[in-house]
Amino acid sequence: MTDNENISVKKQLMLVEDDKELANLIKDFLSRYEFEVTVIDNGIEAAKRIVLDKPDIVILDVMLPGQSGMEVCKQVRSTYDGFILMQTALDDDIDQMMGLELGADDYVIKQVQPRLLLSRIRALLRRAPKRAKVQTPDKYPDLDTIVVGSLVINIARRKIVLDDKEIELTTAEFELLYLLARNSGKLVSRDDIMRHIRGYDYDGLDRSIDRRISRLRKRLQGDSVQAELIKTIRGQGYQLCM
């Protein structure tokens, strides 16, 4: 085995946290594992660096000097395709819902146990989409693409086209649509969705899946009165119908 084969490439993690003591504790812990950790202590700098550095994952505190974590998430989400894990100071449903609405992929409550934080980070990173080669029409040559009726999902470019109209989606919405399209015409259970999005099973109580489905429907249909593209199978899950 060569020296190069012994070297593992560390994941790039950006920690946006203005509590220096907490930031150092988290950095020291995660640096023992597979992460190269960069610490940013204010929202304005974080928004710039996330877009420029494109880390594999960002741990983003809600309360920051300069601008809030919510504002940072909203600002970078359209151009940053990595994972965002929000840190909220309180077990506040409003903060959690708002973070998910703005494109965060998951959230933890401060001060989370380091090993639980590590588990949540690893669960997110396991969700990195696997590209599937399929036959594509001439209009979209040589691209990793899923085509379902008039819906075209360009996985390589994270581009959505429906009825020849491009649709803008957040990363979380893209991941959800990708899962449904990959299983087009089949039932996708809440367990399947939860495992794909968060890395663990549905607990029967979390309503974030329903909210994401609702937002995705609105993105795809806009003001159209066409038949519902994402069908709810009561008590079971969802199905993409084209």
Residue 14: predicted pLDDT: 97
- Cis upstream peptide for 96 (omega within 30°): no
Judge whether 153 and 182 are in contact, CB under 8 Å. Answer: no
Six token digits for residue 212: 């994401």
The residue ranking higher by pLDDT, 78 or 143, is 78
Q: What are the beta bridge partners of residue 239?
A: 231
pLDDT in tens, 19-59: 999 999 999 999 999 899 999 999 999 999 998 999 999 99
Ramachandran category for residue 116: left, alpha or beta (phi over 0 → left; psi -120 to 50 → alpha): alpha
pLDDT higher than 60, residue 170:
yes
pLDDT in tens, 101-152: 777 888 888 878 899 999 999 988 887 543 333 333 444 444 467 888 888 8
Q: In what order do the strands lie in the sheet with 11-16?
A: 35-40, 11-16, 57-61, 83-88, 106-109
Mean pLDDT of 180-205: 72
Residue 42: predicted pLDDT: 95
Residue 149: predicted pLDDT: 82
Domains belonging to the chain, first-starting first, are 3-125 (3.40.50.2300), 145-240 (1.10.10.10)
pTM (two decimals): 0.54
Q: Which of 124, 174, 172 lies closest to 154, judged by CA? A: 174
